[in-house]
Amino acid sequence: MAQEQDILKRPAPKRPPRLTSRRIGIHTSTAGGVQNAAERAYRLGCNTLQIFSSSPRRWAPYELGVPQCAEMNRLRAQYDLKPLVVHTNYLVNLASSNERFLQMSLEAFRGEVVRALSLCADYLVLHPGSFRGADREQGLLRTAAAIAASTQGLDLAKGGLTILIENTAGAEFSLGGSFEQVAEVLERLEGIVPVGACIDTCHTHVAGYDIVSEEGLHQTLQHLDATIGLNRVKVWHCNDAKAPRGSKLDRHQQIGKGMIGKGTFRHLLNDLRLAHAAFIAETPIDRPGDDRRNIDALKKLVVET
């Protein structure tokens, strides 16, 4: 289905899409080559984008040729698409207490960093992992140590690449279900690797934070500032949620059609303390065109001053 509806198969738009003063984008397909993601994002009306640089649920990385990376850069410059966010493969678990699995994860994560550098990406988003077989505190320690170990000898600062730790729904053994846990990984890596945070609205909601009521959202943002620091949140994953607050069920929903609602996104997009961040949807495509509709929904919420 995705193939038939591919925006690249349709005629190019005659006029450039309307953009806002915020950076708004969506997780975009790299089918046919990584450079195609830039063209797709532009045609969808984005000024930032997120991609995978490997198959999200398999260990084999994509082939990233030098010409493809160059073309990606050219298109990003032409369309002013920034930042470029790469999301790490879901299999990587840097907190694993299984030696073999940890080795595979270390290698895969180093590959992610190398590919992000060759793509001149700004951010590499990582879920902090699962502490199954150990305790949470050990898990956080392992993840931080593994990030430091797997990036040794790679100059992220020179490449302009920052690793972003994403908060999670916090189910079972998964790390990152609270802002404190994300902050702890950041503290441990400060001065070793460039790090920041990615906050997912769906994960925040199902992890138990109130971001729906006005007062709750205000308090949650205050808490986020006191733990991670709002300036260290470089990317917001803008996803509505199918499941209720505190359910720990990570089910993304279209913007405005879930338990969170448009009000929260309107606030986030217009809060000047967050204006430096990129807002990226990872919303489901249930019907053709849902990607564009979700981007438009976010853009409409921006109040230009």
Pick out residues in 182-201 that bind Zn ion (CB under 5 A): 200
Least distance from Zn ion to the Cβ atom of residue 241, Å: 9
In the bound state, the residue with its beta carbon closest to Zn ion is 237
Q: Is 14 exposed, middle or buried (0-12, 13-18, 19+ CB in 10 A)?
A: exposed
Peptide bond connecting 83 to the previous residue in cis, omega within 30 degrees of 0: yes
Least distance from Zn ion to the Cβ atom of residue 18, Å: 26
Residue 40 binds to Zn ion (criterion: CB under 5 A):
no
DSSP string, 101-121: HHHHHHHHHHHHHHHHHHTT-
Cα dihedral sign, 220-24-41-35:
negative
Residue 237 binds to Zn ion (criterion: CB under 5 A):
yes
Least distance from Zn ion to the Cβ atom of residue 123, Å: 12
- Looking at the Cβ atoms of 39 and 127, the one nearer to Zn ion is 127
Least distance from Zn ion to the Cβ atom of residue 284, Å: 11
- Looking at the Cβ atoms of 29 and 35, the one nearer to Zn ion is 29
- Looking at the Cβ atoms of 234 and 237, the one nearer to Zn ion is 237
Least distance from Zn ion to the Cβ atom of residue 252, Å: 6
- Looking at the Cβ atoms of 76 and 237, the one nearer to Zn ion is 237
Least distance from Zn ion to the Cβ atom of residue 101, Å: 22
Size of site (CB under 5 A) for Zn ion:
3
The residues, ordered by sequence, that sit 6+ positions from 293 with a Cβ below 8 Å of its Cβ are 254
What DSSP element (H or E) covers 270?
A: helix 262-270
Burial 253-286 (b: 16+ CB within 10 A, else e): bbbbbbbbeeebbbbbbeeeebeebbbbbbbbbe
Euclidean distance between CA atoms 131 and 164, whole angstroms? 19
Residue 291 binds to Zn ion (criterion: CB under 5 A):
no
Choosing from 184, 240, 250, 291, the residue that interacts with Zn ion (CB under 5 A) is 250
Q: Based on C-alpha coordinates, what's the Rg of the chain?
A: 18
**What is the contact mask toward Zn ion in residues 98 to 117, using x (rule: CB under 5 A)?**
--------------------
The residues, ordered by sequence, that sit 6+ positions from 250 with a Cβ below 8 Å of its Cβ are 168, 169, 171, 202, 203, 206, 243
- Looking at the Cβ atoms of 250 and 291, the one nearer to Zn ion is 250
From 20-28, 97-105, 187-195, 233-241, span contacting Zn ion (CB under 5 A) = 233-241
* Closest to 260 (Cα-Cα) out of 217, 197, 229, 196: 217
Alpha carbon 116 to its chain centroid, in Å, reads 13
**What is the contact mask toward Zn ion in residues 51 to 90, using x (rule: CB under 5 A)?**
----------------------------------------
Strand 162-166 to 48-52 pairing: unpaired
- Looking at the Cβ atoms of 88 and 96, the one nearer to Zn ion is 88
Least distance from Zn ion to the Cβ atom of residue 237, Å: 3
Binding residues vs Zn ion (CB under 5 A): 200, 237, 250
